[in-house]
Protein backbone atom coordinates (compact mmCIF):
# COMPACT_ATOMS: atom_id res chain seq x y z
CA UNK A 1 0.00 0.00 0.00
CA UNK A 2 2.85 2.40 0.76
CA UNK A 3 4.17 1.97 -2.78
CA UNK A 4 0.97 3.38 -4.27
CA UNK A 5 -0.26 5.57 -1.43
CA UNK A 6 2.06 8.48 -2.10
CA UNK A 7 1.53 9.04 -5.84
CA UNK A 8 -1.37 9.31 -8.33
CA UNK A 9 -3.40 6.30 -9.41
CA UNK A 10 -5.34 7.12 -12.59
CA UNK A 11 -8.39 5.13 -13.64
CA UNK A 12 -10.63 5.00 -16.72
CA UNK A 13 -14.19 3.75 -16.73
CA UNK A 14 -16.37 2.50 -19.56
CA UNK A 15 -19.96 2.85 -18.41
CA UNK A 16 -19.97 1.32 -14.91
CA UNK A 17 -16.88 -0.89 -15.20
CA UNK A 18 -13.17 -0.35 -14.83
CA UNK A 19 -11.58 0.03 -18.29
CA UNK A 20 -8.00 0.77 -17.24
CA UNK A 21 -5.68 1.79 -14.44
CA UNK A 22 -2.24 3.42 -14.31
CA UNK A 23 -0.34 3.31 -11.05
CA UNK A 24 2.64 5.45 -10.10
CA UNK A 25 4.82 5.36 -7.02
CA UNK A 26 7.76 7.17 -5.54
CA UNK A 27 11.18 5.61 -5.89
CA UNK A 28 11.53 5.56 -2.10
CA UNK A 29 8.30 3.58 -1.66
CA UNK A 30 9.04 1.05 -4.43
CA UNK A 31 12.81 0.53 -4.40
CA UNK A 32 12.67 -2.45 -2.03
CA UNK A 33 11.11 -4.53 -4.80
CA UNK A 34 13.91 -6.63 -6.36
CA UNK A 35 12.94 -5.79 -9.95
CA UNK A 36 12.66 -2.06 -9.15
CA UNK A 37 16.03 -2.13 -7.37
CA UNK A 38 17.64 -3.76 -10.41
CA UNK A 39 15.97 -1.24 -12.75
CA UNK A 40 17.32 1.64 -10.66
CA UNK A 41 20.87 0.25 -10.96
CA UNK A 42 20.45 0.55 -14.73
CA UNK A 43 18.84 4.00 -14.73
CA UNK A 44 17.73 6.06 -11.72
CA UNK A 45 16.63 9.25 -13.39
CA UNK A 46 16.77 12.71 -11.88
CA UNK A 47 16.08 13.57 -8.21
CA UNK A 48 12.34 14.11 -8.86
CA UNK A 49 11.87 10.86 -10.80
CA UNK A 50 9.12 8.42 -9.95
CA UNK A 51 8.05 4.92 -10.98
CA UNK A 52 5.47 4.62 -13.78
CA UNK A 53 3.30 1.53 -13.82
CA UNK A 54 1.95 -0.88 -13.98
CA UNK A 55 -0.68 0.08 -16.51
CA UNK A 56 -3.51 -2.35 -17.17
CA UNK A 57 -6.23 -2.04 -19.81
CA UNK A 58 -9.29 -4.31 -19.94
CA UNK A 59 -9.04 -6.61 -22.98
CA UNK A 60 -12.39 -5.28 -24.24
CA UNK A 61 -11.03 -1.72 -24.20
CA UNK A 62 -7.62 -2.21 -25.83
CA UNK A 63 -6.86 -0.25 -28.97
CA UNK A 64 -9.27 2.55 -28.05
CA UNK A 65 -6.68 5.05 -26.81
CA UNK A 66 -7.23 4.46 -23.09
CA UNK A 67 -3.52 3.96 -22.37
CA UNK A 68 -2.79 7.29 -24.03
CA UNK A 69 -5.52 9.02 -22.00
CA UNK A 70 -4.29 7.57 -18.71
CA UNK A 71 -0.71 8.53 -19.57
CA UNK A 72 -1.72 12.09 -20.48
CA UNK A 73 -3.56 12.48 -17.17
CA UNK A 74 -0.62 11.15 -15.15
CA UNK A 75 1.77 13.56 -16.88
CA UNK A 76 -0.63 16.44 -16.15
CA UNK A 77 -0.64 15.43 -12.47
CA UNK A 78 3.19 15.38 -12.32
CA UNK A 79 4.43 18.20 -14.60
CA UNK A 80 8.16 18.45 -15.20
CA UNK A 81 8.90 15.13 -13.50
CA UNK A 82 10.59 12.12 -15.03
CA UNK A 83 8.82 8.76 -15.04
CA UNK A 84 10.83 5.53 -15.12
CA UNK A 85 9.58 2.05 -15.94
CA UNK A 86 10.65 -1.40 -17.05
CA UNK A 87 9.12 -3.77 -19.58
CA UNK A 88 10.09 -7.35 -20.30
CA UNK A 89 11.94 -7.42 -23.62
CA UNK A 90 9.75 -10.27 -24.86
CA UNK A 91 6.65 -8.07 -24.43
CA UNK A 92 6.99 -6.57 -27.89
CA UNK A 93 3.48 -5.09 -27.97
CA UNK A 94 4.02 -3.15 -24.74
CA UNK A 95 7.45 -1.92 -25.84
CA UNK A 96 5.97 -0.74 -29.14
CA UNK A 97 3.13 1.16 -27.42
CA UNK A 98 5.39 2.77 -24.84
CA UNK A 99 8.07 3.81 -27.33
CA UNK A 100 6.07 4.58 -30.47
CA UNK A 101 2.73 5.81 -29.15
CA UNK A 102 3.75 7.26 -25.80
CA UNK A 103 7.18 8.52 -26.85
CA UNK A 104 9.26 6.91 -24.13
CA UNK A 105 13.03 6.53 -24.49
CA UNK A 106 15.08 3.39 -23.82
CA UNK A 107 17.65 3.90 -21.04
CA UNK A 108 19.25 0.46 -20.88
CA UNK A 109 18.63 -3.20 -20.23
CA UNK A 110 18.96 -5.58 -17.30
CA UNK A 111 18.34 -9.23 -16.52
CA UNK A 112 16.80 -10.67 -13.38
CA UNK A 113 15.92 -14.27 -12.55
CA UNK A 114 16.20 -15.36 -16.18
CA UNK A 115 14.05 -12.55 -17.59
CA UNK A 116 15.36 -9.69 -19.74
CA UNK A 117 14.01 -6.15 -19.25
CA UNK A 118 14.30 -2.75 -20.90
CA UNK A 119 14.25 0.45 -18.84
CA UNK A 120 12.36 3.39 -20.34
CA UNK A 121 11.74 6.94 -19.22
CA UNK A 122 9.89 10.11 -20.20
CA UNK A 123 9.50 13.61 -18.85
CA UNK A 124 6.16 15.35 -18.46
CA UNK A 125 6.13 18.79 -20.00
CA UNK A 126 5.51 21.79 -17.79
CA UNK A 127 2.59 23.76 -19.16
CA UNK A 128 2.72 27.43 -18.30
CA UNK A 129 -0.48 29.37 -17.79
CA UNK A 130 -1.57 32.07 -20.18
Residue 112 forms part of a structural domain: yes
pLDDT surpasses 70 at 118: yes
Q: Which domain holds residue 104?
A: 2-123
- The DSSP code sequence of the chain is -HHHHTS-EEEEEETTEEEEEEEEEEHHHHTTSHHHHHHHHH----TT-EEEEEEEE-GGGTTSSHHHHHHHHHHHHSTTPEEEEEEETT-HHHHHIIIIIS--EEEEEEEETTEEEEEEEEEPPPPPP-
Q: How many domains does the chain have?
A: 1
Rounded mean pLDDT of 1-26?
Answer: 86
- Above pLDDT 90, what percent of the chain? 80
* CATH number of the CATH domain containing 99: 3.40.630.30
Span 14-52, pLDDT tens digits: 888 999 999 999 999 888 899 999 999 999 999 999 999
Q: How confident is the model at residue 124 (pLDDT cuts 50, 70, 90)?
A: confident
pLDDT at 21: 96
Amino acid sequence: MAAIGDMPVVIARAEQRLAGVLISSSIQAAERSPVIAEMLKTYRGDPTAYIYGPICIDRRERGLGIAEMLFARLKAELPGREGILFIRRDNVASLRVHQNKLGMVSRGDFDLNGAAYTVLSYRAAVVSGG
